[in-house]
């Protein structure tokens, strides 16, 4: 209805391959970016700090994982451990006096190195066996963090993140932390969108579809699987650091437990594998829907509309949430991104059913 | 071998008001000088539009002219140009014009025999062809015409290794021409100074509904006058985006894509090939769009088929808003202006339905959509106007550059074709024939004194169309004078008029009304395969082919209903009593219609004599021996069982 595709022509292949050749898509992206930038002025600190900011950071995490799971097709059930390594590395580096900018890089590099070492298992195993290998990583990293006091500061310790400045600006109040998180997420998004258009991205997709077929056409699976683990772990490590500094402002091992890994996988799956929009939608769904459901049922319970016990009240949201995830997997296995895509196409060919020429 | 030429002085005396150096090449040079960055042409190649500026355009035309000259082509030579719209063919036409040679375009789907006839008639000495297909076609008949010295082709695919003797790529000519121009600095100015406003700019052809096509030479002065009249009437604006997709042999393409494009600095957009024309049209979103009534009604059919298979909400919105807009447009035609609420509702509809459909068709930016050639269906005309396109009809012949009469933007009616452009004189003589005079009217047929004398009387062009003026002074075109025929009882009627009314139905692609010298009228109908096919699919009517679909009783009833609808609107003496659905469409390759899809009645009468006889003998069905010409040239026969349907008396 609002998509206008006539008059879009290209005199160079470069513009033909642009991210959003259709003006309506560009407007949507611009409007959403503007909204995100203006958010500190538009929403209260509660919503900014407890909803928007975590949504952005978890989106970055989901996109990092989606690069590995969606584009390269390598399952990873220990991504929280990757983020944990990033978070702890950055905290310790800043404590040792390293500038924050370098600490973020360091977090990414350390996570990338360790992530790649474990990713090497992917060269030999696939599918469920790779899941086991990455699970092992999750537990190993958890164990090391908890049991090495030099890292965790003791078994039940919480490390507070020190005061930092980013490019000369203090990262202290909520607004500055939000903008840092938003900046990182946008950077990851742009990277993710563009990776798909590079030879690297196409190589990953070739490997995802069939690794030995990719090898036949000259894509080296050894190299690209390791590169996929490395890139994804780098992004995950930096996201872990951003999560620690902007959102939690402290690090404990529980923040990066196995549950978190599962949640990340859920974000990627519910959102849609290998889709940038899916990263945003999946993270939003997994983070926000439980809260909305809880609030809704609490309101219903308080208003006497339904008569339920306290115990039931705590569990109902989880039941609905579980049902919704099952529903998505049943009706739209390709995730929220596919629903978005279908909706977009519905309007793209409006008022017809399919494109005509 | 050059054809006879009247001396330049006598030609010039015909139009004393024309300035000698006011010709297409001078205008191209002016554009190149004044608008060095203006985009003159865009060609789509492998998905990308390659742009050509005015100076590039001039350079390539001059280089090609230098190349042609080296090949021995010069003043008065007639050169065949055949192929789809390609930049190099346009360059070639202008390069020929620059050398005072005459380009003679042919339709890309012309048969080899038609090409041979054209070459023999016009003493053609060289050919410019698009690709291997056209080169092969010319090569086929070359043995029968030894005047042809050379073939130049655009697309070398399939020809590089196996080019026939004397064939070479246009590209090579351009290259040689560039070398010549570089070596001889005076040549450029020499070439620019050669053409003359009194030279023929193109040799076009009448459609040949009756007999062989006649050559129609149009001079620089004619086409430029036509374009300037039209521009003065607001019919073209400067700098339009124009899509060159109609055949180069048609007068409109020369007027739009060359004359108007040069004079008014259009950007001419050339689609990748004919099959992608609709898609490419959408990419470019032209500001000026011309399509034949048939193409508009084809577009309407496509929309209707698309809506028929779309989802519920979209269909309901479409049904509501489209019928609302059509009602509004009908009221406007009757002179009622819409209320504020209706205007607001139309705006909403524009957002929801009309705008998106215009966008889907690629007509979002079209400000000047036109149609001409034959009468347009009332439904089709209303539909596109309701859609927010200011669709207008115009009227003209090849003989007056097709630029003579057009509807103005404000004053639209269904029956009239509008007023003549300022500068053009128009009158209707005692026999009811439309006569036109103006600088855009040609000076006579190519080497055909007799036809010229019949058509040009005291500078007035006899169009052969019957017409009258409506009360508000607008022209009404009734039909061809020569087509008025009589039934056995002496009732006058114009078959085309009835046929056009019937063809407004999306289900009927072609129809031929028979009845001259007969007791009653009858119809031979060619169903529209896509529309009726869709209709049959929706109703579960099984069919395997066009022939079978056309003979299904359900389809017979459908078509009979369409004809009964017409019968309700005409006097009883013009009732169509019987009809046959033909097993195939009329095909220009069988000579039943011209390339512009006008019926050739004598051919149809002869081909389908058996059917017509059966209809008037009162039979209920017949087995028809169909002659089939395969693409290989072999012939065969096939027996088809055709049903003859009696139409009911007036309904209700």
Cis omega (within 30 of 0) for bond into A282: no
- pLDDT at position B93 is 96
Domain boundary among B480, B508, B536: B480
Asked if A7 and B365 come within 8 Å (Cβ–Cβ), the reply is: yes
Model confidence band, residue B62 (pLDDT cutoffs 50, 70, 90)? very high
Rounded CA gap, B343 and B328, in Å?
Answer: 9
Asked if B318 and A8 come within 8 Å (Cβ–Cβ), the reply is: no
Q: How high is the ipTM of this complex?
A: 0.84
- pLDDT at position B2 is 40
CA distance A17 to chain B (A): 11
Model confidence band, residue B6 (pLDDT cutoffs 50, 70, 90)? very low
Residues B28, B74: one domain? Answer: yes
Asked if A1 and B47 come within 8 Å (Cβ–Cβ), the reply is: no
Within 10 angstroms of residue B218's Cβ, the number of other Cβ atoms is: 26
Residue B584: which CATH number?
A: 3.30.300.30
Name chain B contacts of A342, Cβ cutoff 8 Å. none
Interior CA angle at B75 toward B71 and B78, to 5°? 75
Per the DSSP assignment, residues forming a β-bridge with B288 are B242, B368
Residues B71, B23: one domain? Answer: yes
Name chain A contacts of B284, Cβ cutoff 8 Å. 7, 9
Asked if B314 and A357 come within 8 Å (Cβ–Cβ), the reply is: no
CA distance B224 to chain A (A): 29
- pLDDT at position B652 is 42
Asked if A6 and B363 come within 8 Å (Cβ–Cβ), the reply is: yes
Residue of B nearest to A353 (CA): B310
Closest CA to A279 of A72, A86, A61: A61
CA distance B310 to chain A (A): 5
Residue of A nearest to B287 (CA): A7
Interface contact A14, partner B, CB < 8 A:
no
Residues B607, B548: one domain? Answer: yes
Residue of A nearest to B359 (CA): A6
Within 10 angstroms of residue A233's Cβ, the number of other Cβ atoms is: 33
For strand B267-270 and strand B39-45, is the pairing parallel, antiparallel, or unpaired? parallel
Residues B349-368: tens digit of each pLDDT: 999 999 999 999 999 999 99
Interface contact A8, partner B, CB < 8 A:
yes
| Contact criterion met (CB below 8 Å) for B368 and B289 | yes
Residues B372, B280: one domain? Answer: no
Closest CA to B212 of B447, B372, B3: B447
Number of domains in chain B: 4
| Contact criterion met (CB below 8 Å) for B416 and B473 | no
- pLDDT at position A155 is 67
Residue B631 domain-assigned (yes or no)? yes
Flag the least confident range among A271-280, B222-231, B290-299.
B290-299
The number of C-beta contacts closer than 8 angstroms across A and B is: 73
Nearest Cβ partner for A16 among B47, B282, B362: B47
In chain B, pLDDT over 70 holds for what percent of residues?
A: 98
Flag the least confident range among A158-162, B80-84, B480-484.
B480-484
Residues A40-53: tens digit of each pLDDT: 999 999 999 999 99
Model confidence band, residue B166 (pLDDT cutoffs 50, 70, 90)? confident
Residues B36, B123: one domain? Answer: yes
Residue B82 domain-assigned (yes or no)? yes
Residue B3 domain-assigned (yes or no)? no
Residues B490, B598: one domain? Answer: yes
Model confidence band, residue B650 (pLDDT cutoffs 50, 70, 90)? low
Interface contact A27, partner B, CB < 8 A:
no
Nearest Cβ partner for B359 among A5, A9, A10: A5
Residue B461 domain-assigned (yes or no)? yes
Residue B109 domain-assigned (yes or no)? yes
Nearest Cβ partner for B364 among A7, A10, A13: A7
> Which helix (DSSP H) or strand (DSSP E) does residue B628 occupy?
strand B621-629
Residue B163 carries which DSSP code?
Answer: P
CA distance A87 to chain B (A): 48
Interface test with B, best of A8, A9, A343 (most B CBs within 10 A): A9
Interface test with B, best of A347, A350, A353 (most B CBs within 10 A): A350
Residue of A nearest to B305 (CA): A352
Residues B498, B475: one domain? Answer: no
Which residues lie closer than 8 Å to B218 by C-beta, 6 or more apart? B200, B201, B202, B203, B204, B251, B254, B398, B401, B442
Residues B81, B224: one domain? Answer: yes
Domain boundary among B449, B480, B511: B480
Residues B190, B275: one domain? Answer: yes
Asked if B48 and A350 come within 8 Å (Cβ–Cβ), the reply is: no
- pLDDT at position B204 is 94
Residues B381, B447: one domain? Answer: no
Model confidence band, residue B7 (pLDDT cutoffs 50, 70, 90)? low
Asked if B282 and A6 come within 8 Å (Cβ–Cβ), the reply is: yes
Asked if B306 and A353 come within 8 Å (Cβ–Cβ), the reply is: yes
Has domain A38-348 been given CATH number 1.20.950?
A: no
Domain boundary among B480, B507, B525: B480
Nearest Cβ partner for B282 among A5, A16, A349: A5
Asked if B285 and A6 come within 8 Å (Cβ–Cβ), the reply is: yes
Residues B590-634: tens digit of each pLDDT: 888 888 788 888 888 888 898 999 999 888 888 888 877 777 777
Residues B317, B388: one domain? Answer: yes
Crossing angle (nearest 10°) for helices A258-271 and A336-348: 20
> Structure tokens of A291?
């809260």
Residues B258-288: tens digit of each pLDDT: 999 999 999 999 999 888 998 999 999 999 9
pTM score = 0.83
CA distance A208 to chain B (A): 29
Asked if B365 and A9 come within 8 Å (Cβ–Cβ), the reply is: no
CA distance A332 to chain B (A): 20
Residue B252 domain-assigned (yes or no)? yes
The radius of gyration of chain A from alpha carbons, rounded to an integer in Å, stands at 21
- pLDDT at position B209 is 63
CA distance A278 to chain B (A): 26
Residue B38 domain-assigned (yes or no)? yes
Residues B141-154: tens digit of each pLDDT: 988 998 999 999 99
Residue B2 domain-assigned (yes or no)? no
Rounded CA gap, B410 and B412, in Å?
Answer: 6
Residues B162, B232: one domain? Answer: yes
- pLDDT at position B210 is 63
* CA distance to A16, A34, A111, A224, B49, per residue, from A200 (Å): 20, 31, 21, 8, 28
Flag the least confident range among A252-256, B77-81, B84-88, B127-131.
A252-256
CA distance A197 to chain B (A): 18
Nearest Cβ partner for B279 among A11, A349, A357: A357
Asked if A6 and B307 come within 8 Å (Cβ–Cβ), the reply is: no
For tokens 């180069």, the residue is B248
The overall average pLDDT reported for chain B is 89
Classified as helix, coil or strand, B414 is: coil
Closest CA to B262 of B18, B61, B17: B61
Domain that includes residue B427, residue range? 400-480
The domain spans of chain A are 38-348
Name chain B contacts of A356, Cβ cutoff 8 Å. 302, 306, 360
């Amino acid at each position: 209805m609002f998509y206008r595709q006539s008059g879009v022509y290209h005199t160079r292949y470069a513009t033909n391959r642009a991210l959003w050749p259709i003006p309506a898509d560009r407007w949507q992206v611009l409007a959403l970016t503007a909204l995100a930038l203006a958010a500190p002025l538009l929403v209260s600190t509660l919503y900014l700090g407890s909803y928007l900011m975590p949504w952005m950071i978890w989106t970055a995490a989901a996109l990092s994982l989606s690069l590995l799971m969606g584009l390269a097709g390598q399952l990873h059930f220990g991504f929280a451990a990757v983020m944990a390594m990033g978070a702890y590395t950055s905290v310790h580096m800043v404590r040792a006096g390293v500038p924050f900018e370098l600490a973020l890089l360091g977090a990414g590099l350390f996570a990338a190195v360790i992530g790649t070492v474990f990713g090497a298992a992917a060269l030999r195993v696939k599918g469920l066996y790779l899941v086991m290998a990455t699970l092992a990583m999750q537990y190993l990293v958890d164990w090391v963090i908890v049991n090495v006091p030099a890292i965790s500061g003791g078994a039940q310790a919480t490390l507070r993140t020190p005061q930092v400045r980013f490019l000369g600006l203090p990262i202290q109040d909520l607004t500055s932390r939000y903008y840092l998180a938003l900046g990182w997420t946008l950077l990851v998004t742009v990277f993710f969108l563009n990776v798909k258009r590079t030879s690297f991205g196409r190589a990953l997709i070739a490997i995802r579809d069939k690794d030995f077929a990719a090898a036949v056409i000259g894509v080296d699976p050894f190299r690209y699987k390791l590169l996929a683990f490395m890139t994804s772990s780098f992004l995950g490590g930096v996201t872990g650091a951003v999560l620690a500094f902007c959102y939690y402002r402290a690090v404990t091992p529980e923040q990066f437990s196995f549950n978190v890994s599962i949640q990340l996988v859920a974000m990627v799956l519910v959102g849609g594998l290998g889709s940038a929009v899916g990263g945003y939608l999946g993270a939003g769904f997994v983070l926000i829907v439980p809260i909305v459901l809880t609030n809704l049922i609490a309101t219903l319970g308080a208003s006497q509309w339904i008569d339920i016990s306290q115990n039931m009240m705590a569990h109902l949201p989880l039941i609905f949430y579980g049902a919704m995830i099952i529903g998505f997997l049943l009706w739209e296995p390709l995730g929220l991104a596919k629903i978005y895509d279908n909706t977009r196409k519905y309007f793209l060919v409006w008022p017809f059913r399919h494109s005509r020429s | 071998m050059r054809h006879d030429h009247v001396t330049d002085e006598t030609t010039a005396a015909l139009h004393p008001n024309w300035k000698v150096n006011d010709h297409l090449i001078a205008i191209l040079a002016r554009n190149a000088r004044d608008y060095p960055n203006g985009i003159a042409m865009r060609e789509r190649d492998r998905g990308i539009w390659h742009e050509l500026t005015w100076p590039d355009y001039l350079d390539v035309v001059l280089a090609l002219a230098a190349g042609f000259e080296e090949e021995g082509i010069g003043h008065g030579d007639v050169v065949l140009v055949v192929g789809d719209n390609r930049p190099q063919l346009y360059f070639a036409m202008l390069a020929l014009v620059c050398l005072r040679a005459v380009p003679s375009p042919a339709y890309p789907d012309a048969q080899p025999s038609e090409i041979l006839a054209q070459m023999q008639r016009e003493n053609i000495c060289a050919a410019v062809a698009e690709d291997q297909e056209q080169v092969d076609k010319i090569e086929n008949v070359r043995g029968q015409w030894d005047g042809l010295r050379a073939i130049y082709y655009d697309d070398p695919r399939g020809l590089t290794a196996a080019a026939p003797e004397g064939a070479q790529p246009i590209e090579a000519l351009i290259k040689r021409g560039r070398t010549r121009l570089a070596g001889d600095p005076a040549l450029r100015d020499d070439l620019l100074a050669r053409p003359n406003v009194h030279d023929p700019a193109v040799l076009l052809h009448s459609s040949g509904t009756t007999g062989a096509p006649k050559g129609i030479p149009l001079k620089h002065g004619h086409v430029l006058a036509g374009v300037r009249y039209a521009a003065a009437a607001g019919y073209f604006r400067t700098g339009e985006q124009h899509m060159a997709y109609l055949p180069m042999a048609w007068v409109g393409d020369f007027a739009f894509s060359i004359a108007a494009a040069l004079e008014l600095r259009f950007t001419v957009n050339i689609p990748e090939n004919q099959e992608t024309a609709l898609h490419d049209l959408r990419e470019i979103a032209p500001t000026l769009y011309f399509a034949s009534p048939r193409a508009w009604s084809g577009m309407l059919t496509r929309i209707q088929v698309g809506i028929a298979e779309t989802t519920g909400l979209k269909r309901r919105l479409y049904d509501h808003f489209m019928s609302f807009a059509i009602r509004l447009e009908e009221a406007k035609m009757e002179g009622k202006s819409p209320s504020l609420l209706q205007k607001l509702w139309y705006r909403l509809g524009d957002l929801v339905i009309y705008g998106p459909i215009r966008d889907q068709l690629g007509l979002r930016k079209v400000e000047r959509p036109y149609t001409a050639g034959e009468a347009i269906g009332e439904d089709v005309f209303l539909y596109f106007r309701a859609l927010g396109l200011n669709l207008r009809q115009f009227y003209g012949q090849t003989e007056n550059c097709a630029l003579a009469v057009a509807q103005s933007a404000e004053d639209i009616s269904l029956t009239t074709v509008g007023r003549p452009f300022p500068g053009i004189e128009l009158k209707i003589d005692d026999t009811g024939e439309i006569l036109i005079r103006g600088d855009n009217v040609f000076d006579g047929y190519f080497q055909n004194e007799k036809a010229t004398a019949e058509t040009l009387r005291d500078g007035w062009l006899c169009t052969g169309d019957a017409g009258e003026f409506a009360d508000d002074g607008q022209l009404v075109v009734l039909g061809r004078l020569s087509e008025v025929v009589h039934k056995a009882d002496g009732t006058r009627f114009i078959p085309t008029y009835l046929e056009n009314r019937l063809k407004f139905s999306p289900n009927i692609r072609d129809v031929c009304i028979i009845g001259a010298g007969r007791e009653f009228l009858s119809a031979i109908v060619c169903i529209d395969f896509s529309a009726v096919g869709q209709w049959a699919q929706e109703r579960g009517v099984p069919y395997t082919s066009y022939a079978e679909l056309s003979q299904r009783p359900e389809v017979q009833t459908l078509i009979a209903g369409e004809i009964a609808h017409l019968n309700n609107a005409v006097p009883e003496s013009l009732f169509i009593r019987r009809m046959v659905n033909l097993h195939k469409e009329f095909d220009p390759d069988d000579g039943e219609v011209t390339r512009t899809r006008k019926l050739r009645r004598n051919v149809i009468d002869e081909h389908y004599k058996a059917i017509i006889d059966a209809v008037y003998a009162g039979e209920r069905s017949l087995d028809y021996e169909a002659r089939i010409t395969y693409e290989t040239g072999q012939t065969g026969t096939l027996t088809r069982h055709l049903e003859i349907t009696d139409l009911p008396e007036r309904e209700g």
